Amino acid sequence: MKPKCFRVVKPEIRVLGVDDGKFVPHVKGQVLVVGVVFRGGYWLDGVLHTRVDVDGFDATDKIAAMITCSSHCKQLRVVMLNGITFAGFNVVDIKALHKVTNLPVITVTRDKPDLDEIREALKNLPESERRWKLILDAGEPLELSTRNEQEKIYVQATGLSMGDAEKIVRLTSTRSSIPEPLRVAHLIASGIGGA
Amino acid sequence: MKPKCFRVVKPEIRVLGVDDGKFVPHVKGQVLVVGVVFRGGYWLDGVLHTRVDVDGFDATDKIAAMITCSSHCKQLRVVMLNGITFAGFNVVDIKALHKVTNLPVITVTRDKPDLDEIREALKNLPESERRWKLILDAGEPLELSTRNEQEKIYVQATGLSMGDAEKIVRLTSTRSSIPEPLRVAHLIASGIGGA
């Protein structure tokens, strides 16, 4: 698929921020995943949710369905994920997510992913090679800073140029170093997850 | 208790907005209640939750505990409820909530409470007189408008003057006719309630 090219990033661009709630690691179960529809870095327009298996393989399909089944879908212009692993090592195939939703996908993390550590942790899980491949496929993260030069964040982009991803990440980081849709998705998922 | 007197309402006054999620009326069960900590009408600072019984009597205690057990409690200056009935007719005793939390309580609704209709509906429930008394005790709602002169809202206040309640309601209605902490609590509770 051809990457989406943003001629202009509108201040109220509709962004879906996605994060997961708390869970007990390595214990079979489902984890709340929250999607927040934001207008740029300003206003909450809606809240979606789904549930994914701890260390499972359903995060891509569940998040895609959460988006495509939502009444907000047509307004959305980009999806932002808090990293590509949900509920432990339920890894999102961001290329497949882009393809199914027809939306560019940006991942943002506060820490630089430590690939050696991840590879080691994956050894304890079934189908570790399949998970590892998805992690490598997501591409090398770009280091950048938004509001505070000292606070680095790490960004991956699929379905749009890294330049456009950077613009959108900066535009939506209105309150902290993290884009507001992800900051709020985190507050909601961690405040309610386990409910 | 002496009502709290606000010499000045700070633009970033910490407000807790409380609303409930979806549920099947008259069917025994628990309903998600969400509390959002907001800075004035601008930023989400945290998300709390509890669960209350459909048509039960635990809303006052559960909401009070959600507030007093939260790490945000000391920063909060006022509680805003989307009306005084949660999960059907689980009526909040707003005077008791004020007393236990030591915080002023403001209720806001879009529609003027229809007391005749409420009285009629209560007849089908156990301890209808007890519920009815709590509804009357909450006092006559004041009609006012915030951003749009045509859109009326209805406000009750306990533990602060109606003048201060009006100031806080207007200050926090940054996005719509409803205070932002309640608009967002509603989006979250209805987006996740039933999860």
Q: For residue B75, what is the DSSP state?
A: G
pLDDT confidence of residue B90: 98
Over residues B54-73, mean pLDDT: 97
Q: Tell me how many residue pairs between chain A and chain B have CB atoms under 8 A apart.
A: 48
Tell whether A176 is within 8 A of chain B (Cβ).
no
Domain contains A3: no
The answer to whether B188 faces chain A, any CB pair under 8 Å, is yes
Q: Is residue A2 part of a domain?
A: no
Evaluate whether residue A4 is within a structural domain.
no
The tens digit of pLDDT for each residue in A145-166 reads: 999 889 999 999 999 999 999 9
Q: Are strands B152-158 and B142-145 parallel, antiparallel or unpaired?
A: antiparallel
Chain B nearest C-alpha distance from A119 (Å): 33
DSSP sequence for B107-167: EEESS---HHHHHHHHTTSTTHHHHHHHHHHT-PPEEEESS-TT-EEEEEEESB-HHHHHH
CATH number for the domain that contains residue A167: 3.30.2170.10
The beta-carbon neighbor of A44 closest among B187, B190, B195 is B187
**Residue B115 resides in a domain:** yes
Distance CA B18, CA B190 (A): 12
For chain B positions 46-65, those within 8 Å of chain A (CB to CB) are 46-49, 51
A29 in any annotated domain: yes
* B45 contacts on A by Cβ (under 8 Å): 187
**Cα B184 from Cα B180, distance rounded (Å):** 6
pLDDT in tens, A41-87: 999 999 999 999 999 999 999 999 999 999 999 999 999 999 999 99
- pLDDT tier for residue B71 given thresholds of 50, 70 and 90: very high
pLDDT value at B19 more than 90: yes
Facing A34 at nearest CB: one of B46, B190, B192: B192
Query: Rounded to the nearest 10 degrees, what angle do helices A94-101 and A59-68 cross at?
Result: 20
Q: Best interface-test mutation with A: which of B23, B30, B44 has the largest number of A CBs within 10 A?
A: B44
Domains of chain A: total: 1
Structural domain containing residue B169? 14-192
B34 burial class (0-12, 13-18, 19+ CB within 10 angstroms)? buried
Is B144 contained in some domain? yes
User: Tokens standing for A90?
Assistant: 């339920």
Within an 8 Å CB–CB cutoff, is residue B184 touching chain A?
Answer: yes
Q: What is the pLDDT of residues B110-128, one digit of tens each?
A: 999 899 999 999 999 999 9
Q: Are the beta carbons of B34 and A175 separated by less than 8 Å?
A: no
Residue of A nearest to B43 (CA): A175
Q: Position B127: which residue type?
A: E
| Residue A1 within a domain | no
Question: Contact, A48 vs A188, CB < 8 A?
Answer: no
**B40, part of any domain:** yes
Give pLDDT tens digits for A13-33: 999 999 999 999 999 999 999
For chain A positions 26-45, those within 8 Å of chain B (CB to CB) are: 32, 34, 43-45
